[in-house]
């Protein structure tokens, strides 16, 4: 990750604008931003779902997968959930991401609509802080066959289902048996995901510059089962032993039902996501703002 004072010298010629799904209210700021970008000599592309809110859309419209191939910068207008979805889709592509939030600033969408012209203008001038964020690649093996394969930006979660019974599973790291656990579930989180579900389950906050994964038990039956931080070079394997109704969740976006004997294998994805922030961006300032630190 670049330091807070580092300025990247680069040029973005084609920019994709992507709005929050099913949110017509993003049309007005999005069109203002598109006009601003055109005034800077930048080619503007829109994704199909965003354009569906704009009658007689004057900009080229593409599917998300095609945007990732043609744009060299994507500006996401929405919240962190929208950014998570776009990050997973664009992960195989070399596309930098910028997040604009219409409401409270998010962990990933840290630019407000009030300052977006000034901030985006500076980014086009090459003045920004860049950081790489890791993703997880997870696969589910059932009866020795891979039946599911997905990416996660925040976390991979094994959890009990609607029946509410604890589940039992084994955890292996790089082929070594670590423990057998009875609990409500287990979270395997990236540094980005450390401030999501893992945080509310008692996991540590992990700086995004670190290349690690965090394993956080959810309501373990044995209190000695504590969170553990491991290298991102490790492979984590979770083997379901006993579960009447267990599921795997990936960023709370994709889901898969699990059965006894199923294995969930999690490792670092080979590509990273490149997030751009304004000059002066501080991860610790963001934590103070989002987590209400030092406030009476």
Quick: pLDDT tens for 35-50.
999 999 999 999 999 9
Whether 240 maps to a domain, the answer reads yes
Query: How far, in Å, are 80, 83, 258, 290 from residue 248 at the CA level?
Result: 21, 21, 7, 28
pTM: 0.91
What gap in Å lies between CA 50 and CA 236, rounded to an integer? 37
Answer yes or no: do 39 and 147 share one domain: no
Q: Which two tokens stand for residue 69?
A: 């191939």
Answer yes or no: do 243 and 204 share one domain: yes
Whether 241 maps to a domain, the answer reads yes
Residue 255: pLDDT band with limits 50, 70, 90: very high
Answer yes or no: do 180 and 235 share one domain: yes
Whether 54 maps to a domain, the answer reads yes
Q: Which of 80, 110, 155, 184 is catalytic?
A: 80
Active site residue 80: yes
Residue 103: pLDDT band with limits 50, 70, 90: confident
CATH number of the domain bearing residue 19 = 3.40.50.10330
What gap in Å lies between CA 81 and CA 99, rounded to an integer? 11
Whether 173 maps to a domain, the answer reads yes
Give the residue numbers spanning the domain of 282.
14-128+278-291
Give the angle 263-207-275 at the CA atoms, nearest 5°: 90
Answer yes or no: do 190 and 102 share one domain: no
Answer yes or no: do 98 and 160 share one domain: no
Residue 10: pLDDT band with limits 50, 70, 90: low
Residue 19 has pLDDT above 80, yes or no: yes
Our count of domains for the chain comes to 2
Whether 203 maps to a domain, the answer reads yes
Condensed to tens digits (0 to 9), the pLDDT of residues 107-133 reads 999 999 999 999 999 999 999 999 999
Residue 170 has pLDDT above 90, yes or no: yes
Whether 7 maps to a domain, the answer reads no
Answer yes or no: do 20 and 124 share one domain: yes
Region 230-258 average pLDDT:
93
Q: Which residue has the higher pLDDT, 9 or 164?
A: 164
What gap in Å lies between CA 47 and CA 67, rounded to an integer? 7
Answer yes or no: do 67 and 147 share one domain: no
Whether 5 maps to a domain, the answer reads no
What gap in Å lies between CA 232 and CA 230, rounded to an integer? 6
CATH number of the domain bearing residue 193 = 2.60.200.30
Whether 9 maps to a domain, the answer reads no
Answer yes or no: do 228 and 140 share one domain: yes
Answer yes or no: do 118 and 153 share one domain: no
């Amino acid at each position: 990750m670049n330091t807070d004072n580092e300025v990247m010298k680069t040029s973005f010629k084609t920019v994709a604008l992507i709005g929050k799904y099913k949110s017509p209210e993003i049309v007005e700021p999005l069109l203002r931003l598109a006009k601003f970008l055109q005034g800077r000599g930048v080619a503007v592309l829109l994704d199909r779902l965003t354009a569906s809110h704009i009658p007689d859309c004057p900009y080229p419209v593409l599917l998300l997968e095609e945007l990732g191939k043609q744009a060299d910068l994507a500006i996401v207008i929405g919240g962190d959930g929208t950014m998570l979805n776009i990050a997973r889709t664009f992960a195989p592509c070399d596309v930098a991401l910028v997040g604009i939030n219409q409401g409270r600033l998010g962990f990933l969408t840290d630019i407000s609509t009030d300052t977006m012209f000034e901030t985006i203008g500076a980014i086009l001038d090459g003045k920004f802080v860049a950081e790489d964020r890791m993703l997880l690649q997870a696969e589910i093996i059932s009866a020795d066959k891979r039946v599911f394969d997905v990416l996660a930006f925040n976390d991979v979660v094994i959890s009990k289902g609607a029946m509410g019974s604890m589940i039992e599973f084994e955890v292996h790291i790089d082929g070594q048996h670590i423990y057998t656990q009875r609990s409500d579930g287990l979270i395997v989180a990236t540094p980005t995901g450390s401030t999501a579900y893992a945080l509310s389950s008692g996991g540590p906050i992990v700086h995004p510059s670190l290349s690690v994964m965090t394993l956080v038990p959810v309501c373990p039956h044995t209190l000695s089962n504590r969170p553990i931080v491991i290298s991102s070079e490790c492979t984590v394997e979770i083997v379901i032993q006993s579960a009447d109704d267990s599921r795997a969740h990936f960023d709370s976006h994709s889901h898969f039902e699990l059965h006894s004997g199923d294995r969930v294998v999690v490792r670092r994805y080979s590509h990273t996501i490149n997030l751009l922030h304004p000059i002066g961006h501080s991860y610790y300032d963001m934590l103070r703002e989002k987590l209400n630190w030092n406030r009476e």
